[in-house]
Amino acid sequence: MLKDKVAVITGAGQGIGRAIALQFARQGARVAVCDLNSDNAAAVAREITDTGAEAIAVKVDVTNEEQVLEMVAECMLHFSRIDILVNNAGIIQTGPFLKISAEAWDKVMAVNLRGVFSCCKAVFPVMQRQNGGRIINIASIAGKRGGGILGNSCYAASKGGVIAFTKGIAREGGPYNINVNAITPGYTDTEMTSSLTLKQRDAVLQMVPLGRAGKPEDVAAAACYLASDYAAFITGEIMDVDGGLMMD
C-alpha cells in the first residue's frame, strides 16, 4: 500500500505515533521515527529494522524550529525525498482553565500547534518540488467538542487550531498535489491517557457507541488509508476515529 514511500512521523517513540510507524513499515514505507526521546525513537526504529524494513531514528523537539529543519535535512540526506509527514507529537493538559498557568498554556500550544506549523513549513517546500505529498495531522475530538468532562479546554484549543490549520494548508497544498488531512481520535489507550482514574475512564466510555476505548492501531489504520493512493481525492478532511462518540 505504501511501498517505497518515505514517511516522517513525529512523536513516534510511543503510543499512536509508534503504531503508525510500525503500520507504515508493514505496508512497505521507509520510516523516519522522530521523537524528543531518542531512546524511544531508537527502540521503535529497531523494531522496524528487525523485520527487514528500513527506518532511522531522529531526535527532535518540534518546538525548536532549528531542530525541525535539521530533522528534515537528515531525512532528505538519508532518503532523498519525503512523501508523507505525520504530525503526531503532542502533550495534554487537563484541569479547569482557571487553574492552568500561562506557562502551561504556552507549552501546550508550542508542542501541539506551533510544532505542527513548523513541521509543515519545513516539509512543504520538499513536497512542492516533488509535486506531491501527504500530510496527516493528529488532532483530537476535543478540538471539536471544546474539551470534555476532564476539563481540558487548553488542550482542546490547541487541537482546534490544528483542525483549522489543516483545512487552510489543504487549500494551499492543492495546486502542488499535496493532500492535507487530520485525524481526530477519541479516547485512546496510550501512555498519555494512562493517568485517568477508572471512574474517569468509565465516564468517557459511556459516551462511546462501540463501548470501548480506541487502540493506537485504530488510528494507525486510518493514517495508513489517508497516506495511500486510496485517499488520492481526499484533502481537508477531518476524520473522526472515536468509536462513534462524535456521531451526529
Question: Which tens digits make up the pLDDT trace of 150-200?
Answer: 668 999 999 999 999 999 999 999 999 999 999 999 989 887 777 677 877
Cα–Cα dist 227/183, whole Å: 12
Return the HEC string of 26-57.
HCCCEEEEEECCHHHHHHHHHHHHCCCCCEEE
Work out whether the CA dihedral 47, 3, 57, 49 comes out positive or negative. positive
Residue 110, amino acid: A
Per-residue pLDDT tens digits for 206-237: 889 999 999 999 999 999 999 999 999 999 99
Cα–Cα dist 152/100, whole Å: 10
Domains and CATH numbers, the chain: 6-238 (3.40.50.720)
Active-site amino acid positions? 155
Phi, psi (rounded to 5 degrees) for 241: -125, 85
Answer whether 0.85 is exceeded by the pTM.
Answer: yes
DSSP alpha helix (H) spans, the chain:
15-26, 38-49, 65-79, 102-109, 115-130, 142-145, 153-173, 198-205, 216-227
- Average pLDDT in the 24-48 region? 98
